[in-house]
Structure 1
Amino acid sequence: MTTNYVTTADGVRIFYKDWGHGTPIVFSHGWPLSADDWDAQMMFFLAQGYRVIAHDRRGHGRSSQVSDGHDMDHYADDLAAVVDHLGLLDAIHIGHSTGGGEVVRYLARHGQGRAAKAVLIAAVPPLMVRTDANPGGLPKEVFDDFQRNTATDRAQFYLDIAKGPFYGYNRPGAQPKDGIIANWWRQGMQGSVKAHYDGVVAFSQTDFTEDLKRIAIPVLVQHGDDDQVVPYANSAPRTAELLPNGTLITYPGFPHGMPTTHAEQINADILAFIQS
């Protein structure tokens, strides 16, 4: 079990975890979290005999808190730097939320020669913000509020997200877990407010339509139909349609943070996909 850093071409130190041996699975986390958000998946797939790798996006977690480069192209390039540094081949890429966008842009921008399969969990593609060409998207004002609250009241805003929509804890009958809420807040507050502020534009305004069309490897799309952060109807079904080799699994009632709240089901479905 090792931890290390890789330095990108523009001088950013990217923290990563690299555990185990066997077929590599590379995890890309969501906004504004870190590699720690993959604990349930890292431990499960490590026990299944896989090599598991997860990095902290630039400005997040333990990676450098740089001022610039908080956009999908740089995110994809940073992921490529980790893959290249570790010499990974036949990797399985798994991305949650913003990390799903990162995986899609990486595969389209850097090619699929080192990748075997991919999994997109509650992911932001094809495009989150409403435009004339994307009338089902969310109004830009939603993301403007995200930026304003991040910049001016981040600690309380992050607590409210974790206690509320991220895990569906605001739904009737939900049973919030204090540890999960605290862990989300801890990860978020460890990162850079500037990176998180800029990252809102990256995850909401990046159009992945053409990227998705270029990905030939098999891709599993997992999404809960009660996702309050990345609404289901405008994301997962459209992503699966755009992918040449996409498979969609819809989870009734599952929230955005389902890799944590429903780890057993999510992990089992990913394992079945990887082994198929």
Structure 2
Amino acid sequence: MPYITLRDGAQFYYKDWNPPESTGTGTVLFSHGWPLSADAWEKQMFFLAAHGYRVIAHDRRGHGRSDQTWDKNDVDNWADDLSELIEKLDLKELVLVGHSTGGAEVARYCTRHTTARVAKIVFISSVVPQVVQSSVSPDGVPVAVFDGFREAMLKDRAQFFLDVPRGPFFGFNRPGAKASEGLVESWFTVGMQGGLKAVYETSRSWEVDYSEDLKALEIPALVIQGDDDQIVPIKTGALAAIKLLKKGTLKVYPGGAHGIMDTQPEDINQDLLGFLKA
């Protein structure tokens, strides 16, 4: 399996699908959300690779197959890790795609490092600009909710990691929703591969204000979110983000849940492809 060694010696896993029939039309790099891994993007990676794109996704430190380091589980270090991957693979003309927490990671990479290697950026159900309730994000999630998440993880992470996908993540708790036990089990399995400390500390990134990161972006940005996202309220997510982006395009999915890459993969795939070709 492909790994790079990071500055602190940590082993950092990534998958790189560059099919022989690739048309050389570009490279798409995916950053996953909490508490998942590169595997969260397989539907999108398979689709885009079949359309001639090189597709890459990594496991954030502490998640999936990457090393479970004790420290550096914060957005600045994630941006540094991403920078090391991009530099070591010498990637150029990238399209960065971030879901949920991954949106914070790709935004911070662009402002902490550079957009010289980045052509476009995509935020899907992202925590940017600020998901926690604050004076600048009055429609955000009260910090007490995140405190409850952290308490639940420490008390019984396994049960919590079943409750989240069975409920708000995919919207399976909505009346008439047809739940997929396969999606639930997959989310649980991948989530439990992450280290407790890493997934616990990741929740602190949801309390960060990324407004300045978005304001600084000069590249085209696509913002996608469902209006029934129970994890990141759309008012504090996509609707707030689009106001800060200089070259932003907004796509709202009526009734869409947080995990729309899995619940509406055909729509996401077509919107990504259209943005890549634009």
Aligned-partner residue type, residue 233 of structure 1? K
Determine the C-alpha separation between the residues in 2 that align with 1:227 and 1:132: 22
User: What residue number does 1:13 align with?
Assistant: 11
Secondary structure of the structure 2 residue equivalent to 1:234:
coil
Secondary structure of the structure 2 residue equivalent to 1:189:
helix
Aligned-partner residue type, residue 87 of structure 1? D
Determine the C-alpha separation between the residues in 1 that align with 2:135 and 2:248: 26
More moved, 126-135 vs 109-118: 126-135
User: What residue number does 1:143 align with?
Assistant: 146
Following superposition, the deviation at residue 136 of structure 1 comes to 1.8
Following superposition, the deviation at residue 133 of structure 1 comes to 2.8
Unaligned runs of 5+ in 2: none
Task: Note the aligned Cα RMSD (angstroms).
Answer: 0.8
User: What residue number does 1:247 align with?
Assistant: 249
* Per-residue CA distance 1:190-229 (angstroms, 9 max, x = gap): 1100000000011x11110000011111000000000000
The percent identity for this pair of structures is 49
Determine the C-alpha separation between the residues in 2 that align with 1:124 and 1:72: 12
Taking structure 2 as the reference length, the TM-score comes to: 0.97
Determine the C-alpha separation between the residues in 1 that align with 2:132 and 2:97: 23
User: What residue number does 1:176 align with?
Assistant: 179
Determine the C-alpha separation between the residues in 2 that align with 1:136 and 1:226: 14
Q: Is the Cα–Cα contact under 8 Å of residues 139 and 233 in structure 2 kept in the other structure?
A: no
Determine the C-alpha separation between the residues in 2 that align with 1:56 and 1:89: 20
1:166 to 2:169 alignment: yes
User: What residue number does 1:211 align with?
Assistant: 213
Secondary structure of the structure 1 residue equivalent to 2:2:
strand
Aligned-partner residue type, residue 206 of structure 1? V
Determine the C-alpha separation between the residues in 2 that align with 1:151 and 1:104: 29
Determine the C-alpha separation between the residues in 2 that align with 1:251 and 1:43: 22
Following superposition, the deviation at residue 138 of structure 1 comes to 1.2
Secondary structure of the structure 1 residue equivalent to 2:120:
strand
Aligned-partner residue type, residue 160 of structure 1? D
Following superposition, the deviation at residue 234 of structure 1 comes to 1.2
Q: 2:100 aligns with which of 70, 74, 97?
A: 97
Following superposition, the deviation at residue 134 of structure 1 comes to 2.3
Q: 1:229 aligns with which of 228, 231, 250?
A: 231
User: What residue number does 2:194 align with?
Assistant: 191
Following superposition, the deviation at residue 70 of structure 1 comes to 0.8
Determine the C-alpha separation between the residues in 2 that align with 1:9 and 1:109: 16
Determine the C-alpha separation between the residues in 1 that align with 2:13 and 2:238: 29
Following superposition, the deviation at residue 132 of structure 1 comes to 2.4
User: What residue number does 1:273 align with?
Assistant: 275
Unaligned runs of 5+ in 1: none
